[in-house]
């Protein structure tokens, strides 16, 4: 499965405003802290300000004696993208050996983070340089570079990306999927015959990446591709089937209704959810009643959660009541409760506020916390829920890191004040490290959960949870 197809490896925010400027100012004072993690995290947050005044400090940090600080500072150079950054990163990638070191992998990712108009010749030269090395040994730095590029407009590198994709030595299916995802995002000049060959002969990862693109884009030669998309919708791999069904749905392909009905009975949550969306999209309003009855009758928790999460039609009063009962039932699994609560919040925000608050405090599904926090803050208006009602135990950054990150991402004002107090107050360096990491993951740069297992280990260690 392509990491790029899973919405990229990271999120990068615009230049900080308001609270972001305050956190960056506090981080700048910690660039020389005794703790290497604090130094590195401070570098990443300072880099977001993109101020040329910090360039010298970040270049010095990129030569820090501790790898925890050094690796983060190298990535920070790519975030800052000030004049001279590309030269520093290029030097760290000068040889095939340099690229495979932890610093080289971090530098490759940082180089990919540079804006498309920032030293494109350097990026192109490094990209094509992989053609002349051992691709098996250099898989991680190349993957890191492609992941960084996934956050930027890749069109300036189309020629170099195409050379890599077309090279006979490029056989790794994961790398080919990442290259294909970037090419499709850039200027997809693949003709129908080439797309058909990829669907016929490409590795599973390539086919899935292409099908995900086709699920959101039209192309020439649709009639030529349709049989291959239908064949992929019956493949053994559930991710490929799901993507193919989404592509057929995008084309309002009426025969896909049968495939969608079958998908709704799948034990794979993504496929089951796509089945629900496809029936609603292709079948229209006339299918809503039948889908509601199917949802009400479903007992399998995996399918129940997937169907609830993807029922995008206006729900009836009976379905809202059913979802509210599920969301407040402690005997239900958290995926079911969360999907049910979100459905209630979409239709009756006032009714959902207490449900969302209790779920946020008690759920063990950390991946759902950002969505729950966003709904809580959206519906709270000028009176967000107090932290004491959202956290079990003490209001302490070290006790609930995933919840703090979600609250910071949703801009909960009390969470921001608590973080600033930790950075400014007499707290320990360990506490400051936790605060900086929470802010960086929430507002600057993070590895999304689907990509964690696919990214190079160096990036997981530097940027992951």
pLDDT of residue 282: 95
Q: What is the pLDDT, as a whole number, of residue 6?
A: 41
Q: How confident is the model at residue 17 (pLDDT cuts 50, 70, 90)?
A: low
Residue 16 has a pLDDT of: 54
- Both tokens assigned to 232: 């992929």
How do residues 285-307 score in pLDDT, each as one tens digit?
889 999 999 999 999 999 999 99
For the cut 50, the answer to whether the pLDDT of residue 5 exceeds it is no
Distance between CA atoms of residues 451 and 196, nearest Å: 28
453 Cβ contact partners less than 8 Å away, ≥ 6 residues apart: none
pLDDT of residue 257: 95
Q: Does domain 1-183+428-465 have CATH number 3.30.70?
A: no
**Encoded tokens for 388:** 């004491």
Domains of the chain, residue spans: 1-183+428-465, 190-285
CB 43 within 8 A of CB 31: yes
Model confidence at 118, in pLDDT bands (50, 70, 90)?
A: confident
pLDDT at 3: 47
Please report where in the chains the tokens 């302490």 appear, as a residue: 396
Report the distance separating Cα 296 and Cα 39, nearest Å: 53
Mean pLDDT of 98-123: 91
Classified as helix, coil or strand, 255 is: coil
CA-based nearest residue to 83, from 46, 130, 50, 42:
50
The pLDDT of residue 352 is: 93
Which helix (H) or strand (E) element contains residue 207? helix 204-214
Distance CA 401, CA 366 (A): 10
| Helix (H), strand (E) counts: the chain | 28, 0
Q: Considering Cα of 217, then 218, then 221, then 226, what sign does the dihedral take?
A: positive
- Spatial neighbors of 213 by CB under 8 A, at least 6 apart, are 5, 181, 184, 188
Cα Rg, the chain, nearest whole Å? 24
pLDDT in tens, 135-191: 788 899 999 999 999 888 898 899 999 999 999 889 899 999 999 999 998 876 788
Residues 3 and 65: their CA atoms lie apart, in Å, by 32
Instruction: Report the alpha-carbon angle 347-348-354, nearest 5.
Output: 130
What is the rounded average pLDDT of the residues 387-413? 89
Q: What pLDDT was estimated at residue 452?
A: 60
The DSSP-derived string for 391-413 is: SSS---TTT-HHHHHHHHHTT-H
Identify the pLDDT of residue 2.
Answer: 52
450 band by pLDDT with thresholds 50, 70 and 90: low
User: Contact, 287 vs 280, CB < 8 A?
Assistant: yes
Closest CA to 404 of 431, 373, 427: 373
Tell me the pLDDT tens digit for each residue of 318-377: 999 999 999 999 999 999 999 999 999 999 998 999 999 999 999 999 999 999 999 999
Report the distance separating Cα 99 and Cα 126, nearest Å: 10
Q: Assess whether pLDDT exceeds 80 at residue 125.
A: yes
Count of all residues that appear for the chain in the document: 465
Q: CB count, 10 Å around CB of 286?
A: 7
Q: What angle do CA 329, 330, 334 make, to 5 degrees?
A: 95
Rounded distance, CA 268 to CA 256, Å?
18
Three-state SS for 242? helix
CB atoms within 10 A of CB 436: 29
Query: Could you give the percent of the chain with pLDDT greater than 70?
Result: 94
Average pLDDT, the chain: 90
Q: d(Cα 453, Cα 449) in Å, to the nearest integer? A: 8
pLDDT tier at 37, thresholds 50, 70, 90: very high
Checking if the pLDDT of 207 tops 90, the result is yes
What is the per-residue pLDDT for 9?
Answer: 45
- What confidence tier does 393 reach under pLDDT thresholds 50, 70, 90? confident
For residues 151 and 171, what is the distance between their CA atoms, to the nearest angstrom?
24
């Amino acid at each position: 499965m392509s990491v790029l197809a899973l919405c990229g490896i990271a999120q990068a925010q615009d230049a900080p405003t308001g609270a972001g400027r305050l956190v960056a100012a506090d981080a700048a004072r910690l660039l020389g802290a005794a703790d290497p993690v604090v130094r590195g995290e401070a570098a990443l947050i300072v880099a977001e300000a993109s101020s040329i005044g910090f360039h010298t400090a970040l270049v010095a940090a990129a030569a820090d004696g501790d790898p925890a600080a050094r690796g983060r500072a190298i990535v920070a150079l790519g975030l800052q993208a000030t004049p001279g950054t590309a030269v520093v990163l290029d030097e760290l990638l000068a040889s095939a050996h340099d690229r495979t070191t932890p610093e080289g992998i971090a530098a490759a990712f940082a180089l990919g983070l540079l804006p498309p108009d920032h030293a494109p010749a350097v990026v192109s030269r490094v990209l094509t340089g992989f053609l002349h090395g051992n691709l098996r040994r250099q898989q991680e730095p190349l993957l890191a570079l492609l992941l960084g590029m996934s956050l930027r407009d890749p069109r300036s590198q189309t020629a170099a990306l195409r050379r890599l994709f077309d090279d006979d030595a490029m056989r790794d299916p994961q790398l080919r999927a990442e290259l294909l995802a970037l090419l499709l995002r850039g200027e997809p000049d693949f003709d129908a015959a080439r797309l058909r060959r990829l669907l016929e002969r490409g590795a599973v990862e390539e086919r899935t990446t292409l099908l995900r693109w086709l699920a959101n884009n039209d192309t020439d030669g649709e009639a030529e591709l349709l049989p291959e998309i239908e064949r992929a919708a019956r493949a053994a791999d559930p991710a490929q089937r799901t993507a193919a069904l989404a592509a057929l749905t995008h084309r309002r392909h009426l025969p896909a209704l049968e495939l969608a009905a079958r998908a709704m009975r799948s034990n794979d949550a993504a496929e089951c959810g796509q089945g629900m969306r496809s029936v609603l999209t292709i079948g229209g309003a006339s299918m809503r009643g039948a889908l509601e009855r199917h949802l009400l009758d479903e007992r399998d928790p995996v399918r129940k959660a997937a169907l609830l999460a993807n029922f995008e039609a206006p729900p009836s009063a009976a379905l809202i009541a059913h979802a509210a009962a599920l969301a407040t039932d402690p005997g239900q699994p958290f995926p079911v409760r969360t999907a049910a609560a979100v459905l209630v919040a979409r239709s009756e925000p006032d009714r959902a506020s207490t449900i969302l608050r209790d779920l946020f405090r008690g759920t063990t599904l950390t991946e759902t916390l950002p969505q729950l926090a966003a709904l809580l803050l959206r519906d709270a208006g000028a009176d967000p829920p107090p932290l004491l009602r959202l956290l079990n135990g003490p209001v302490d950054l070290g006790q609930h890191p995933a919840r703090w990150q979600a609250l910071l991402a949703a801009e909960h004002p009390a969470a921001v004040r608590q973080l600033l107090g930790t950075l400014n107050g007499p707290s320990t360096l360990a506490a400051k490290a936790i605060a900086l990491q929470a802010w960086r993951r929430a507002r600057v740069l993070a590895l999304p959960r689907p990509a964690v297992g696919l990214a190079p280990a160096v990036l997981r260690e530097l940027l992951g949870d």
